[in-house]
């Protein structure tokens, strides 16, 4: 079983709705990630938090707002999304050693449909 848990697994929202995706990890990792994955494509990095501070924002539109309340939790707040934002949203975590090679562990994802 994955040690990165995401809720909800499925979400349908209207373009005027506000919703949130939630993620929790129990591995003591200090880096947490949000990825977006469209059908038949590899995951695309959106945000990285390192020690609860936003470290990377890959020029993501402001209608996506991440939040890291503590080292185990990561949220993604969604507001005024577009149908093209429909995708699988993957949360992930890793140890935060400097340099390449950190193994990233992914959750099961949240399937988002914007109508």
Partner 1 sequence: AQKVTQAQTEISVVEKEDVTLDCVYETRDTTYYLFWYKQPPSGELVFLIRRNSFDEQNEISGRYSWNFQKSTSSFNFTITASQVVDSAVYFCALSDITSGTYKYIFGTGTRLKVLA
By CB under 8 A, residue 53 contacts partner 1: no
Residues 6+ apart with CB under 8 A from 30: 50, 51, 71, 95, 96
Q: Which stretch binds partner 1 (CB under 8 A): 17-25, 65-73, 74-82, 95-103?
A: 95-103
By CB under 8 A, residue 11 contacts partner 1: no
Of 16 and 42, CB closest to partner 1: 42
Least CB distance from residue 107 to partner 1, whole Å? 7
By CB under 8 A, residue 83 contacts partner 1: no
By CB under 8 A, residue 48 contacts partner 1: yes
Contact at 8 Å (CB) between 94 and 103?
Answer: yes
Cα distances from 90 to residues 14, 33, 57, 98, in angstroms, run 20, 8, 15, 23
**SS3 at position 35:** strand
Least CB distance from residue 100 to partner 1, whole Å? 4
Least CB distance from residue 86 to partner 1, whole Å? 14
Nearest by Cα to 35 from 13, 18, 60: 60
């Amino acid at each position: 079983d994955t040690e990165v848990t995401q809720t909800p697994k499925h979400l349908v929202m209207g373009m005027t709705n506000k919703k949130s995706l939630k993620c929790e990890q129990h591995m003591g990792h200090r880096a947490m990630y949000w990825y977006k994955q469209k059908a038949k494509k590899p995951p695309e990095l959106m945000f990285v938090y390192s020690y609860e501070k936003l470290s990377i924002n890959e020029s993501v539109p402001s209608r996506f707002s991440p939040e890291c309340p503590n080292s185990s939790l990561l949220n993604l707040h969604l507001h005024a999304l577009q149908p093209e934002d429909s995708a699988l949203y993957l949360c992930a975590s890793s140890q935060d050693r400097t340099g390449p090679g950190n193994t990233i562990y992914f959750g099961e994802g949240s399937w988002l449909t914007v109508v």
